[in-house]
Each structure stands twice: as structure tokens, then as C-alpha cells.
Amino acid sequence: MKAIYFISLFFLLLAFVPESFSQDQPPQRRTRQRASEVASDNTPSLTERARIKNEESSKAPSHIVWQREIYRNIYLDKENNSPLYYPTQPIGKRVNLFTLLFKLLSENKITAYNYLDGREIFTEEEKINFEEILKKYQILYTAQGSGDNIKYIVNEIDIPGSEVLIYLIKEGWYFDAATGTFKSQVIAICPMLVRTDFYSGERTRDPMFWLPYEEIRPYLSRELIMTSNYNNALTYTMDDFFSKKMYSGEIVKTTNLMNLSLAQQVGADPDTLKIAQDSIENQLKSFNKNLWVYNDTIPVAAAEETAKPDKKTTPSKEKTSGRGAKKEKEEKPKAATPKAEKSSSAPARSVRRR
């Protein structure tokens, strides 16, 4: 009886232990799982180390003696610019550039500034609210909370990542006298929303807002992109794409006293615009080339060295002429002078008789 009692008690304990575990463990696991899901939806926050590193890299050189600011239109339908456009809808953790910027704005991690015609001002007065962006461009959203704790929830399918087909970027080209370097860097970026009008069928470009590149750089440096159809490894980041100048774009404006665009200066004719754009590109290349004086004494000395005759291989004139004369004597035998043959019988003298 005792054996039966202990066996039944043992099985009873086995029956209750998993039940107690099932009551305690799953809620904790569910809580952790929900927390991880929420964290995966949000963009990663900056650490203090990353923030300090970004501030150091964002500092402008202190000894700029020459600088030129250039505005470019980057068209995402071009193959070399397409890494910023695809995927149009998020695939796992992979998102395109505008979707990443949109999420950062919704979480108040970066600040957008109003797009002003012909100028950009990054001041407190020109800051644009995220709700204003949603209303202005008719993006569906739901608001949660109130006051300072309000959050705007936008479904990923409603983010207009596929409609941003152009980026207007501002480049700064400068020469730093302290380091003796000629570099370029992106100063600001402006996404353009391209939509087709329902009634007229015309495509419109609408610049949305300006974003200082120094604010978005630390987030772009964490976002990997695929830059080739032949190599599917994610080897570059979005920051590499801009800092290494892997994009291509046409020049639409340079900073000038009158604040005029390139089309306003030279006209809207495509051929004239192309000539002006190529001229600006050549000016940048020639300025960089003329910064340095190349030492040409080494090439001249090398040319003189190759022009000298080789004493070992080239014979002197005396030896050449002597050998040549000797060969001629050996090869050209003396011509034999012909001798008169002696006749065996003497000629008979004729005698006249009187």
C-alpha cells in the first residue's frame, strides 16, 4: 500500500509541476516577445559613443580657404541610384531611404525643416511638425495619446516610399589648408514626392522638407543596402553611398550672390544646361588638379638615361669599319688580270723578192 501511495504521489507531483511552470513562464516569454516585436518596429536609438563620434565627424574643417556649394537632383530611376529606392516596401529589416527617414521623424529622433524656395534655414522657427507633414501630403494615420505624449501611427503600406523618386541634395566642396585635402560632403537632403494628378494626368514634383545630413548620418551608417545585382551581399551602408559618392546626379544650382538656379542663369534649353553642368564639373576637376605641382625632374632624368647609347652593346666606328673592311677583303676576291697566251709557233716573215 505504501508503495502504491508513493507512486501515486510521485505522478501527482509530475502532473502539477509542469502546470505551475505553464502558469508562470509563458506570460514572461510573451512579454519578452512583445517587447522584442516593438523594438524591431522602432529604429535603433543612438548610444552616447555614437553621438560623440557623429559630432566629431560632423565638425566642419577650421581652415577652409576655398569652398563651393552645389545642388544636385538624384533620380532614383537610374540604376546606380536605385539602392536608395529599393525595396519600396519593407522586407524584414530592409527598408529604403525614405521609409527610414519617415520612421525617424515619427519617433522624433530627427528634425525636419520647411522647404523654402531657393534657400534652406535650419532654425527653430523653420521646424516642421510631423503632423503637418501627414496632413499636407494626405498620409493616413491614427493618433494615440495626447499632449506631449501623442504618437502618430502609420501603417507601412501607407508610407509613400515608392512615390519619392527624386532627392535634392546640397553638396559642399572645399579645400582644407590645414590637412591639404580637397573633399566633398553632403550638407542637407530633401526628398521630392512625385505624384500624378488624377484629373490632368501630369506628374508633379513636390519638395517635402530639408534634413541636415549631420543629424541623419548616424542612422544611415547602420542601414545596410545592396548595391549590385551580381553581388547580393550587404557590404555598404547608406552613409557609405553618400560619403563615397556612389550616386550620380545632375547639377541644378550653385550658391551665387543672386540666388539663381542654373536654368535661370543660362536658360531652360537641355543642351545649354548640359554644357553649363559639364563646365562646373570640369571646374571642380581642374581646381583639384591645379592644387598640386608635380616634380618633372624624375621623368626628364629617366628620358635622358634611356637616350644614352649602351657602350657594351653598341660597337665603335673604328672596330666596325675594321671588321667591315676585313670582311669585304675576305668575301671579295681580287680580280685576276688576263695574260696573253704564248703561241707555240712564231709568225713567218714575208720576204719580197726583187
Range of the domain at 222: 48-59+77-168+187-255
User: 43 in a domain, yes or no?
Assistant: no
Co-location of 239 and 101 in the same domain? yes
Co-location of 146 and 294 in the same domain? no
Q: Which residue has the cell 581642374?
A: 286
Who's near 218: CB < 8 A, 6+ residues apart?
46, 50, 51, 53, 54
Q: What pLDDT is attached to residue 264?
A: 94
Q: What pLDDT is attached to residue 237?
A: 95
In a 3-state reduction of DSSP, which class is residue 239?
Answer: helix
Burial of 240 (0-12, 13-18, 19+ CB in 10 A): middle
Co-location of 206 and 298 in the same domain? no
Which of 255, 273, 291 terminates a domain? The answer is 255
Co-location of 195 and 299 in the same domain? no
Co-location of 216 and 122 in the same domain? yes
Q: What pLDDT is attached to residue 313?
A: 52
Contact (Cβ atoms closer than 8 angstroms) between residue 73 and residue 250: yes
Co-location of 197 and 283 in the same domain? no
Q: What pLDDT is attached to residue 78?
A: 94
Q: Note the Cα 25 to chain centre separation in Å.
A: 49
Rounded-to-integer distance, Cα 55 and Cα 188, Å:
16
C-alpha cell at 141: 494615420
Tell me 291's DSSP state.
T
Indicate the residue type of 256.
N
Query: From the first residue on, what is the mean pLDDT of each consecutive set of 10 residues in the chain (354 residues)?
Result: 60 51 40 36 65 59 84 95 94 93 94 89 93 94 86 93 96 87 92 90 92 95 91 91 95 93 93 95 91 67 65 50 50 53 50 48
Co-location of 209 and 118 in the same domain? yes
Q: What pLDDT is attached to residue 33?
A: 38
Q: What pLDDT is attached to residue 59?
A: 61
Q: What pLDDT is attached to residue 92?
A: 86
Rounded-to-integer distance, Cα 106 and Cα 87, Å:
20
Q: What pLDDT is attached to residue 34?
A: 38
Q: What pLDDT is attached to residue 284?
A: 93
Q: What pLDDT is attached to residue 199?
A: 83
Beta strand pairing status for 164-176 and 151-153?
unpaired
Q: What pLDDT is attached to residue 338?
A: 52
Indicate the residue type of 292.
W
Who's near 261: CB < 8 A, 6+ residues apart?
118, 252, 253
Co-location of 230 and 279 in the same domain? no
Co-location of 126 and 240 in the same domain? yes
Contact (Cβ atoms closer than 8 angstroms) between residue 130 and residue 242: no
User: 98 in a domain, yes or no?
Assistant: yes
Co-location of 206 and 299 in the same domain? no
Q: What pLDDT is attached to residue 318?
A: 47
Q: What pLDDT is attached to residue 246?
A: 95
When divided into structural domains, the chain yields a total of 2
Co-location of 161 and 270 in the same domain? no
Co-location of 211 and 289 in the same domain? no
User: 122 in a domain, yes or no?
Assistant: yes
